[in-house]
């Protein structure tokens, strides 16, 4: 059985690779290279897979999952400037691809301690816009 749970957070960022000349940053990132940044209302889907528990009838204790995702990802990213407020992006461009990697790493690191191997954390999807959705298989 698979369960997909959605979470929302808002964050701002500027897409700018310091190793590249300004002209290249403008060409690659376009309006997302605005020196003042811009924001998104992200939707993150967390997908877990496992058997249905014979006693509870659940794949996962959703309250416990919600607490973990909130503590590890939502609270860390919500209403933050990703470039300056989130340690993972001190030297990494906060693209949505890298946001998915950072969220996945945070969840993977905490998941086993909370849940063990069952249910398995299968993937996350980051919806940046209606057209841009990033999926990370875990």
What is the rounded CA–CA span in Å between residue 121 and residue 57?
Answer: 18
71 a catalytic residue: no
Which of the residues 45, 88, 122, 128 is marked catalytic? 128
Which of the residues 38, 71, 79, 135 is marked catalytic? 79
What is the rounded CA–CA span in Å between residue 41 and residue 38?
Answer: 11
Which of the residues 32, 45, 88, 97 is marked catalytic? 32
Q: Name every residue whose Cβ is closer than 8 Å to that of residue 28 and which is 6 or more positions away in sequence.
A: 15, 17, 20
113 a catalytic residue: no
Decide: residue 23, CB within 10 A, 0-12 exposed, 13-18 middle, 19+ buried. Answer: exposed
**Residue 10 has which token pair?**
């808002």
79 a catalytic residue: yes
Cβ–Cβ under 8 Å, residues 52 and 98:
no
Any idea which residues carry the catalytic annotation?
A: 32, 79, 128
């Amino acid at each position: 059985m698979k369960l997909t749970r959605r979470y929302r957070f808002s964050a701002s960022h500027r897409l700018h690779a310091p190793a590249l000349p300004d002209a290249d940053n403008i060409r690659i990132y376009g309006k997302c290279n605005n020196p003042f940044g811009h924001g998104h209302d992200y939707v993150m889907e967390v997908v877990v897979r496992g058997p249905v528990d014979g006693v509870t009838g659940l794949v996962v204790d959703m309250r416990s999952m919600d607490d973990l995702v909130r503590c590890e990802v939502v609270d860390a990213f919500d209403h933050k400037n990703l470039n300056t407020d989130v340690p993972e992006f001190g030297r990494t461009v906060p693209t949505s691809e890298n946001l998915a990697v950072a969220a996945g790493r945070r969840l993977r690191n905490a998941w086993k301690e909370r849940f063990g191997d069952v249910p398995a954390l299968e993937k996350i999807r980051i919806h940046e816009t209606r057209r841009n959705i990033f999926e990370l298989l875990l």
